[in-house]
């Protein structure tokens, strides 16, 4: 094996670590990741407890602390909610939690409760005879829904007239209840989440490679790894606490190298440079070419674990021949990245003892999403880097509870990672619900969200129930979405805590209780389950989503085959107990968990059962994958066309617990820049805002930090267009336009980037415009196209033209602390917090939490066959 030069991250010096127990005060708007706590490989990640309280509340004034976890991203940081006088007044990270060891990021600190006392929905709203939304009461609103529902069920279309578009932000108990009433009660296959826009590709890639959804890796792999590859993942802004965990290795002895695959110069890309790794900045829409190039290099250089490939994988020859044409030079031409960088990245992957990979929207929301994400799985399989410390794959989630949407089948799957195409799996569900198997729709795959919206457009779906998502800002091609929501013959129900852009189109608006106002569980990226307590009463008459759906099931009088209520539980814990039964014997096994067990201490990663009573840190230590015909969640697809593989063909492959090396050639994206629209348009996030800002936009600190949209251009592109920092520019695609102040940024030429957070709730009735009237929602521009396997829309792709509208009056509002930093910092004020935004960081003497053992070791007590034992096993006590 060739060795690669290791360079200490030179340019940046770690900040002083305060002595234990000393609380430092910091501005976590300016200092996003907080104080470094550097440490060496195979040593525990130190504890640092972050907390923030309302300015007028001191820690000793807090009446009580209620255990929870943050719901502002998929990281799932354990926290306690501070309650005073019946109100939420602050949060504190949980030192004992395996996820965050006490830390919280800016959204958690400044955005988790601040919204709770603002303009919340407190009563149901019903559209009156004048067409206006008017305040109403629960009986009237629910009866309006139930009457319409019953009318539609009595037509020939039956349950097919109903569709549900839900969330990745509700609780497990809510999804499971919705899933049961939708599938076994109404018999509709039209149920999906905004998770389709988010992590459908994570699920698809895991299913295609390993047979089932379920995260193989663990966050604790960061402590043990030698190289971190981030594919289309701006972790520094989107899972800030996980990034702090990486930084603490990067600033310690024997740091891992970082490799970033992203067209923008994110903080991740900067870390790649500083650690002697590589920043690959492919043109949007070329990820699969790049992955084929990396794979070819790994194969050609013999960086392979041939024994692992032979024993635990299928289809190596097909993969090898598919990637053969992708020489570094050929790939360099397609992706416009230097061939030497491709070689170097492959060498780091091929020669590091342990590699951790993470994948997110730069891959999932782009062209050939599932193929490119499976290619990451392939690289790990080729080197046998899976199922042991430091060798994780994190096919990331984005939303805090997206994992549960998928597990519970509220997203276009069947509950418990069951295969809709396996009659025994359907039979199991029918038994659990005590209904006839034919009551559960399984004649075709469950309908994905993009198709649900198409059915609404065509008119076959006549009742659309939207919960916990704001599609009038977040779906692609907003002019089309608004037209659908306005349709006369579509009855729209919106269940939310706020009168969102979407709620304004509804026939009935149901006021929902949100985080801290209801009890339930949820599961983060690395399978860790947290219990979130009810800290305060919901405002006015707002109700938990669970209670709303239980009420609907009661009013509809859904019954099982014995004539008893179909949904027999009446509270969150009852739903959780029912869910446990649904998971018995599945990979996603919750049977060893209970609310009681989740109280105190740390969140616990599934599977939790008799074999692993304290949970499971990482999967597949025994290299036994759930690909057997009777276990798998899917029979798989052709990655290029999305064509489904049938049971016979799958059976003939005799996977028998081996993983699939799935291959696909690169094909060009459906839309590429041309003369009239010369730019590639892509969109994403800033650290300070969450999605459509219903929570973060109501936090003073976060609103100040990122108040309005900006449009990022490279320095050379801006010069060509005659655009200076802060000038107003217009970006147009064949579908629509947005305007904003230009940020002369550090991205690659030919690419224009805009955050997608900014809709129009501050300016009702303006269809995607800002209070001053300019259109500013990125999704005015995006296209209605999706990946053939995961059906995830291609938000990161499309062509656009950029024109200058007016001279600016000052710098753009793009934050200066992260990827949106200006190329020329002079004259642009730094993004900082204001008075009252101080946060406390306490270096705690408490020992760091200890992760559970991997599955195979939990059951057999020995390392998995065919894997190299770690030289220094990671211990946290």
Ligand X SMILES: Nc1nc2c(c(=O)[nH]1)N[C@H]1C(S)=C(S)[C@@H](COP(=O)(O)OP(=O)(O)OC[C@H]3O[C@@H](n4cnc5c(=O)[nH]c(N)nc54)[C@H](O)[C@@H]3O)O[C@H]1N2
- Which residue from 28, 36, 94, 107 is in contact with ligand SF4, where contact means CB under 6 A? 107
CB of residue 240 to ligand SF4, shortest distance in Å: 5
H helical segments located in 435-528: 449-458, 471-474, 478-485
Nearer to ligand X, 95 or 375 (CB): 375
- Which residue from 37, 75, 292, 397 is in contact with ligand SF4, where contact means CB under 6 A? 75
Nearer to ligand SF4, 290 or 394 (CB): 394
Q: How far apart are CA 324 and CA 520, in angstroms?
A: 50
Structure tokens at 311: 């024993």
Going by C-alpha positions, the residue among 208, 518, 499 that lies closest to residue 368 is 208
With beta carbons less than 8 A apart as the criterion, state whether 399 and 171 touch. no
**Terminal CA-CA length for the chain:** 34
CB of residue 24 to ligand SF4, shortest distance in Å: 18
CB of residue 221 to ligand SF4, shortest distance in Å: 17
**Cross-sheet strand order for the sheet of 355-359:** 278-280, 257-261, 227-231, 355-359, 393-395
Q: Can residue 159 be called a binding residue for ligand SF4 (CB under 6 A)? A: no
In the block, tokens 């909610």 appear at 81
Between the alpha carbon of residue 437 and those of residues 210, 421, 443, 575, 635, the distances in Å are 27, 12, 11, 21, 20
- Which residue from 73, 463, 655, 783 is in contact with ligand SF4, where contact means CB under 6 A? 73
CB of residue 61 to ligand SF4, shortest distance in Å: 23
Q: Which residues bind ligand X (CB under 6 A)?
A: 73, 107, 167-170, 194, 197-198, 232-234, 237-238, 261-264, 266, 282, 284-285, 287, 360-363, 365-366, 398-399, 467-471, 474, 495-498, 500, 512, 514, 545, 682-685, 687, 689-692, 694, 756, 778-779, 782, 795-796, 819
Q: How far apart are CA 311 and CA 291, in angstroms?
A: 24
| 3-state secondary structure at position 424 | helix
- Which residue from 198, 227, 334, 493 is in contact with Mo ion, where contact means CB under 5 A? 198
**Per CB under 5 A, which of residues 383..412 are in contact with Mo ion?**
398
CB of residue 297 to ligand X, shortest distance in Å: 18
Q: Can residue 821 be called a binding residue for ligand SF4 (CB under 6 A)? A: no
My answer on whether omega of the bond before 289 falls inside 30° of 0, hence cis, is: no
Q: Which residue is nearest to ligand SF4 (CB)?
A: 108
- Which residue from 32, 47, 49, 77 is in contact with ligand SF4, where contact means CB under 6 A? 77
**C-alpha torsion angle, residues 127, 129, 134, 136 (rounded to 10):** -80
SS (H, E, C) 293-320: HHHHHHHHCCCCCHHHHHHHEECHHHHH
CB of residue 496 to Mo ion, shortest distance in Å: 17
Nearer to ligand SF4, 115 or 453 (CB): 115
Q: How far apart are CA 766 and CA 133, in angstroms?
A: 17
Nearer to ligand SF4, 101 or 196 (CB): 101
| Strand (E) or helix (H) holding 133 | strand 133-135
CA angle 666, 668, 671 (to 5 degrees): 150
The interface region with Mo ion, picked from 52-60, 106-114, 197-205, 750-758 by CB under 5 A, is: 197-205
CB of residue 398 to Mo ion, shortest distance in Å: 3
- Which residue from 47, 230, 241, 355 is in contact with ligand SF4, where contact means CB under 6 A? 241
Contact partner, 694, from Mo ion, ligand X, ligand SF4, none, Cβ < 5-8 Å per class: ligand X
Nearer to ligand X, 34 or 389 (CB): 34
Contact partner, 516, from ligand SF4, Mo ion, ligand X, none, Cβ < 5-8 Å per class: none
Residues 6+ apart with CB under 8 A from 43: 223
Nearer to Mo ion, 462 or 685 (CB): 685
Number of residues that bind ligand SF4 (CB under 6 A): 13
CB of residue 325 to Mo ion, shortest distance in Å: 34
Nearer to ligand X, 46 or 263 (CB): 263
CB of residue 731 to Mo ion, shortest distance in Å: 22
Burial 514-549 (b: 16+ CB within 10 A, else e): bbbbbbbbbbbbbbbbbbbbbbbebbeebbbbbbbb
Q: Which residues pair with 465 in a beta bridge?
A: 164, 493
CB of residue 819 to ligand X, shortest distance in Å: 6
CA angle 177, 182, 184 (to 5 degrees): 90
Q: Can residue 239 be called a binding residue for ligand SF4 (CB under 6 A)? A: yes
CB of residue 837 to ligand SF4, shortest distance in Å: 15
Q: Can residue 105 be called a binding residue for ligand SF4 (CB under 6 A)? A: yes
Which residues lie near ligand SF4 (CB under 6 A)? 70, 72-73, 75-77, 104-105, 107-108, 239-241
């Amino acid at each position: 094996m060739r060795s690669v030069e290791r360079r200490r991250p030179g340019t940046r010096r770690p900040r002083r670590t305060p002595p234990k127990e000393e609380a430092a005060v910091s501005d976590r708007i300016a200092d996003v990741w907080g104080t470094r706590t550097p440490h060496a490989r195979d040593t525990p990640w130190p504890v640092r407890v972050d907390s923030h309280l309302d300015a007028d509340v001191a820690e000793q004034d807090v009446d009580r602390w209620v255990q929870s976890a943050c719901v502002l991203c998929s990281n799932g940081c354990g926290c306690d909610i501070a309650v005073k006088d019946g109100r939420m007044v602050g949060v504190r990270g949980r030192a004992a939690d395996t996820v965050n060891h006490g830390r919280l990021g800016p959204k958690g600190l400044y955005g988790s409760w601040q919204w709770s006392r603002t303009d919340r929905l407190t009563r149901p709203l019903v559209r009156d005879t004048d067409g206006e939304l008017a305040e109403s009461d629960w009986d009237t609103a629910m009866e309006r829904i139930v009457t319409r529902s019953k009318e539609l069920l009595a037509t020939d279309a039956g349950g097919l007239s109903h569709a549900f578009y839900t969330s990745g932000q509700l609780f497990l108990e809510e999804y499971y209840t919705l899933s049961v009433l939708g599938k076994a009660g109404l018999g509709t296959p039209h149920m999906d989440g905004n998770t389709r826009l988010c992590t459908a590709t994570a699920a698809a890639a895991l299913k295609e490679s390993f047979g089932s959804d379920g995260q193989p890796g663990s966050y604790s792999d960061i402590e043990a790894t030698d190289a971190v590859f981030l594919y289309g993942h701006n972790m520094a802004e989107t899972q800030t606490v996980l990034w702090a965990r990486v930084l603490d290795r990067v600033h310690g002895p024997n740091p891992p190298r970082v490799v970033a695959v992203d067209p923008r110069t994110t903080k991740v890309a900067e870390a790649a440079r500083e650690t002697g790794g590589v920043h690959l900045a492919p043109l949007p829409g070329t990820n699969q070419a790049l992955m084929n190039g990396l794979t070819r290099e790994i194969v050609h250089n013999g960086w392979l674990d041939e024994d692992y490939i032979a024993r635990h994988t299928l289809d190596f020859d097909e993969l090898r021949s598919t990637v053969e044409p992708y020489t570094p030079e050929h790939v360099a031409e397609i992706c416009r990245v230097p061939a030497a960088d491709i070689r170097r990245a492959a060498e780091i992957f091929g020669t590091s003892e342990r590699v951790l990979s993470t994948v997110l929207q730069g891959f999932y929301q782009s062209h050939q999403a599932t193929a490119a994400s499976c290619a990451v799985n392939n690289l790990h399989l080729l080197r046998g880097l899976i199922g042991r410390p430091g060798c994780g794959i994190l096919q990331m989630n984005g939303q805090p509870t997206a994992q549960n949407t998928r597990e519970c089948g509220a997203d276009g799957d069947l509950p418990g990672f069951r295969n809709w195409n396996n009659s025994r799996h359907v039979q199991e569900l029918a038994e659990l619900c005590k209904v006839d198997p034919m009551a559960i729709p399984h004649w075709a795959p469950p309908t994905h969200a993009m198709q649900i919206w198409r059915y609404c457009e065509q008119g076959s779906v006549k009742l659309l129930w939207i919960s916990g998502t704001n599609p009038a800002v977040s779906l692609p091609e907003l002019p089309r979405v608004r037209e659908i929501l306005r349709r006369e013959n579509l009855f729209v129900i919106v269940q939310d805590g706020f009168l969102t852009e979407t709620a304004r189109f509804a026939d009935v608006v149901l006021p929902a209780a949100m985080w801290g106002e209801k009890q339930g569980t949820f599961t983060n990226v690395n399978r860790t389950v947290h219990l979130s307590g009810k800290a305060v009463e919901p405002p006015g008459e707002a109700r938990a989503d669970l209670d709303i759906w239980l009420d609907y099931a009661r009013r509809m009088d859904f019954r099982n085959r014995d004539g008893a209520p179909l949904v027999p539980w009446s509270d969150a814990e009852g739903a959780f107990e029912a869910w446990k039964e649904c998971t018995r014997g599945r990979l996603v096994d919750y049977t060893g968990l209970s609310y009681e067990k989740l109280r105190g201490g740390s969140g616990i990663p599934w599977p939790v059962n008799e074999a692993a009573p304290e949970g499971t840190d990482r999967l597949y230590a025994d290299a036994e994958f759930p690909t057997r015909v009777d276990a798998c969640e899917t029979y798989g697809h052709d990655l290029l066309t999305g064509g489904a593989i049938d049971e016979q063909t799958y059976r003939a492959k005799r996977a028998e617990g081996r993983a699939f090396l799935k291959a696909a050639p690169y094909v060009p994206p459906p839309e590429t820049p041309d003369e009239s629209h010369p730019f590639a348009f892509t969109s994403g996030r800033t650290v300070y805002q969450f999605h459509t800002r219903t929570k973060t936009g109501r936090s003073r600190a976060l609103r100040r930090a990122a108040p309005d949209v900006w449009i990022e251009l490279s320095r050379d592109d801006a010069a060509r267009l005659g655009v200076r920092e802060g000038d107003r520019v217009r970006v147009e695609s064949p579908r629509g336009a947005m305007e904003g102040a230009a940020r002369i940024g550090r991205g690659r030429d030919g690419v224009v980037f805009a955050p997608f957070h900014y809709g129009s709730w501050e300016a009702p009735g303006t269809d995607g415009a800002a209070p001053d009237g300019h259109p500013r929602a990125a999704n005015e521009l995006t296209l209605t196209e999706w990946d053939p396997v995961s059906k995830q829309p291609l938000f990161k792709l499309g062509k656009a033209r950029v024109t200058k509208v007016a001279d600016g009056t000052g710098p753009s509002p793009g934050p200066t602390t992260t990827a949106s930093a200006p190329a020329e910092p002079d004259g642009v004020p730094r993004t900082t917090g204001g008075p009252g935004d101080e946060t406390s960081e306490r270096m705690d003497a408490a020992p760091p939490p200890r992760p559970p053992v991997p599955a195979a070791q939990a059951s057999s007590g020995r390392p998995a066959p065919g894997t190299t034992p770690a030289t220094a096993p990671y211990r946290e006590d």
